[in-house]
Structure formats: C-alpha cells, structure tokens
Amino acid sequence: MVSPVIENEIVKAVVVSDVSSQRTDGLIGTTLMRSLGIVMATVVLIVLLLLNHFRFVQYAMLFRRMKEVDQLKNDFLSVATHELRAPMTVIKGSIENLEDGITGTVDEKGRHVLKVIYGETERLNNLVTDLLNVSRLEQGRITYTFETVDLRETSQNIVDEFTAKAQQKGLTITYQQPPTPELISADKGRIIEVLTNLVDNAVKYSQKGSVIVTHKSTANQVVLSVRDTGIGMAAPDRERLFSRFYRIQNDDTKGIPGTGLGLWIIKQYIEAMRGTISVDSMVGVGTEFEVQFPRLKPGPEKP
C-alpha cells in the first residue's frame, strides 16, 4: 500500500506499507489463545474455591454434629449419675443397718458378705462420682470458692483419715508438718479432693514401706509432696498418667481398683486454682507427686 504525504498541496513523501493478513491472523490467534487460557484458569480456580467452600461447609456441619453428640453424652452422664446415686445411698444405708443389727442378727459369714457388698458399692459410687465430675468439667460447671487455706491442717486431717487403711497393709503413713503456716488461696473442698486422691493412690499402690506427706516453700511457691515406696512406673506410663481413663496395666496393678479418671480430674482442679502437678517415679522404688501453688504470705491481704 502506497500513501502520499502532502504539505501545501505538494507531495513531500510517499509511505509504502505492507500489511500481511497472515501475520495479523497469527497475532489474533495468539491473543485468543492467551485469553482462552486465562478464562480456563479462572474457571478452574473458581471450581477449586467452590469445592473448598463445600468442604468447609461439610466440616462445619460435622463439627456442629459432634458438638451436639458431645452435649447429648454429657447430658446422659449427668442424668445417669444422678439417678444411680440415690439407689446406691439406699444400698449402703441398708448394709449399715444390717451390720448394726437394726434389721436382724447377722452371723460372721453374713458380715463378711456385707463387707464385700459395701466395698463394691463404694467402688461403684466412686465411679459414678468420677463420671459426674468429668461431665461437669467438660461443661464448665465446676465452681471454685477461693479462700485462705492452711495446707498443714488439711494435710494432717487426710493423713489421719488414711492411717487405719495404711496400717491394715502394714504401711507407715506420716505427715512431716512444717513449723510455720503454709497458706495458699484455693478452694478448700477441691484441695481435700486433690490430697485424698494422691494419698489414696499412694496407699493403694504400695505393698510395703511408707507414705510420706511433706511441704516445702520457696519465696513464691508452696510445694506439696506425696511420696511412697510403692511399685512405681516406667517413663511411658508417666507421660500418659494424667490422661482420661488411663491406667497402668501390669501384674502389679491387676487387682487394684480404679477408674483412670482421678488424676485427670485433680489436674483440672489444680490448674484451675493456678497450680501445677508433676510426677517422678521409678519402677520398684516408688513414686512422688508434687503439687505447686502460689504462696500466700501471712498478713491482712485477702485472696
């Protein structure tokens, strides 16, 4: 193609251009292919986003369903444990009446049977109590009333309570009381549950030797220790000891009753009261539990 360049009616120059339709078609084709590629990539991206969205929706529905099932489980546990407590209380009361001779005379053989029944009823009662506490903890329905607690008085009472049981097994149980008050801010009822569990375990898992309850203090901490000379445990067992329903299974523990919930429950109590719990143990040597709480210094300050 020839195009003149005219200025003042005078042809100054001539422009010659050569346009190739084949080249133009090539450029158009390339542009179309690129556009098509972008469109396809966009479609794929949208499809992936939609699939991901549907997956999130499914996860959300599954999570909601799991929460509903978990709530149903907790509701069932609450109702079942409450309903079981009433007949067990009646059974225990009836056994005590029989042992006291209120409902008739019972010979020695009958007393032995009543003792077994009472022990199994108490075991069932402990299981029900543990299940109820687990349900309450999971639902956040455990309340704590903080007050100033002197661990000396509480520890001495628990040790006195377990003295007869320890002596029946040939164990010595002692409380090494510190000379000064060991004050913490805590729920006294929960502290009693913590100490009862630890001392009870120490007595149950010791066949000989002793159980010793002690305290030691630092500038900011009060450390409660429950040490025994029992069967002890290996490192893998220590790592899982505070898990729900975990119990050490071997020949030494085969005949010892328990739910595997007690240590998990008291760990929740301790942490809710700003404390920590740890365990040190060696197979055949014994076990020591240490519970640490922030120290409350004597004085006018209130918890």
Confidence of residue 22 (pLDDT cuts 50, 70, 90): low
Look at 237 and 70; give whichever has higher pLDDT: 237
Confidence of residue 303 (pLDDT cuts 50, 70, 90): very low
User: Tell me, what's the pLDDT at 302?
Assistant: 44
Q: Residue 212: how many CB atoms within 10 A of its CB?
A: 19
| pLDDT over threshold 90, residue 98 | no
| pLDDT over threshold 70, residue 298 | no
User: Tell me, what's the pLDDT at 11?
Assistant: 62
| pLDDT over threshold 80, residue 4 | no
pLDDT digits 0-9 by tens, 257-291: 777 889 999 999 999 999 999 999 999 899 999 99
User: What's the CA gap between 203 and 173, in Å, rounded?
Assistant: 8
User: What's the CA gap between 172 and 210, in Å, rounded?
Assistant: 5
User: What's the CA gap between 135 and 67, in Å, rounded?
Assistant: 14
User: What's the CA gap between 261 and 130, in Å, rounded?
Assistant: 6
Of 101-110, 189-198, 258-267, the least confident:
101-110
Of 134-148, 166-180, 211-225, the least confident:
134-148
Q: Domain 61-139 has what CATH class?
A: mainly alpha
CATH placement of domain 148-294 = 3.30.565.10
Same fold, 61-139 and 148-294: no
Sheet containing 210-217, strands listed edge to edge, beginning at the edge strand earlier in sequence:
172-176, 210-217, 221-228, 286-294, 276-282
Confidence of residue 301 (pLDDT cuts 50, 70, 90): very low
Q: pTM for the complete prediction?
A: 0.68
User: Tell me, what's the pLDDT at 73?
Assistant: 66
Residues with Cβ within 8 Å of residue 233, at least 6 apart in sequence = 241, 248, 281, 283, 287
| pLDDT over threshold 60, residue 77 | yes
User: What's the CA gap between 93 and 64, in Å, rounded?
Assistant: 44
CB burial string 189-204: b at 16+ within 10 A, e below: ebbbbbbbbbbbbbbb
Confidence of residue 1 (pLDDT cuts 50, 70, 90): low
User: What's the CA gap between 272 and 186, in Å, rounded?
Assistant: 9
User: What's the CA gap between 103 and 93, in Å, rounded?
Assistant: 11
Calculate what percentage of the chain has a pLDDT beyond 70: 86
Calculate what percentage of the chain has a pLDDT beyond 90: 35
Look at 21 and 123; give whichever has higher pLDDT: 123
User: What's the CA gap between 110 and 105, in Å, rounded?
Assistant: 9
User: What's the CA gap between 51 and 57, in Å, rounded?
Assistant: 10
Helices (H), 169-284: 188-204, 235-240, 262-272
The segment with the largest mean pLDDT, out of 66-70, 219-223, 225-229, is 225-229
**Would residue 212 be called left, alpha or beta, if left means φ above 0 and alpha means ψ between -120 and 50 degrees?**
beta
**Average pLDDT taken over every residue of the chain:** 83
User: Tell me, what's the pLDDT at 84?
Assistant: 75
**What are the φ/ψ torsions at residue 275 (nearest 5 degrees)?**
-115, 180
Residues with Cβ within 8 Å of residue 236, at least 6 apart in sequence = none
- Rg, the chain, Cα only: 38
Residue ranges per domain, the chain?
61-139, 148-294
Both structure tokens of 233:
């445990």
